[in-house]
Structure 1
Amino acid sequence: MDWDLPRLLNRPPLISNEPLSPDHAASRISAYIYGNILVLAALIPVTKSQETLGIAIVVGAALSTFLAHVFAESVGQTLRLGRSLSSTERLRELRDSVPVLTSAVVPAVILGTALLGWLEPRTAQLTAEIVMIARIGSISYVISRLRRERVTNGTHLAAFGLAVIATIIVVIKVFLTH
């Protein structure tokens, strides 16, 4: 099968017959960005003496952020609806927050290669950081797909801009908190 990049980037956004509502799409994108920024921020200050703790730091950042995100979104949704959430709505909030957790998978695997001796620890960390910035930038493609818009030069520029903004946010966070 030949790869057709324009077709791949412009395919329908969902496999399911039920479209994702704009509210749920926005919640998932928010969780994706938030999780990726915090995982990236957790990666940056990991030092050579902490290299074996890197995976735990990344997973811990994602897990604690996931729990905080679910809690905050549930409280916000309760206020928007003016009532307590049903079990189905609570599960939906959990589902919409899963992108926070998935943000830790790739960097944890990359850091795991250093534990196995396949990569030098610093190389693994730098690779994980670059991947995280690329993941944050790639959200412009996801947004285009969810809006059913074609990928344009503006989409590519937005991806670059998001990556730059994410990098600035992480630098500020690391400077202020570490």
Structure 2
Amino acid sequence: MPNGKSYPLFPLHTVLLPGAPLGLRIFEPRYLDMVRECGRREEGFGVCLILEGREAGAPATPAAFGTEARIEDFGSTDEGLLTLRVRGARRFHVRRTRVRDNGLVVGEVDWLDGDSDDEIQPQHGLLAILLRKLLDQIGGEHASAPMERFDQAAWVGWRLAELLPLDDASRQALLQQDDPHARLDRLLELMP
């Protein structure tokens, strides 16, 4: 999708990171319409941290940076609510937003460059070890990642940002950081 294109946004009280999974329950008509439209176009939608407002009701004010959510699976609850499993993909910057008649926030987005395949620098080696230990303890889908993944600065940074107990403001700052090595520096600063 080219830069400057309108893209549906789903403001949430969470930060979706590239490569991270997220489960959603969809019940508002504006988001049900959005999911149908995304399915027809075979596209994702944008997830942005809410700066002001709530997830339900009046349109919330989203952060200016977010992540594309690609739908991996869907189902329904016993109550008949749509459930989605999405995964974070590309990062974007929102130039401006508008609100459709149905309350859906749509952003004019610029796609940010993908992460480089840079190797971990020596000063960040401890973070790769920490991530390996975390995944050994908690398991999950990344626990069986090939060892070469732990040498990739971007992958290690995103997985730590996903797994560490960080507040939303810290995760948002990491999402907005373009350089994977600077992201790892910031994670070192956030460590207790």
**Band of TM-score, shorter chain:** under 0.3
Greater strand content: 2
TM-score (norm 1): 0.23
Greater helix content: 1
Higher relative contact order by CA 8 Å / sep ≥ 6: 1 or 2?
Answer: 1
TM-score (norm 2): 0.22
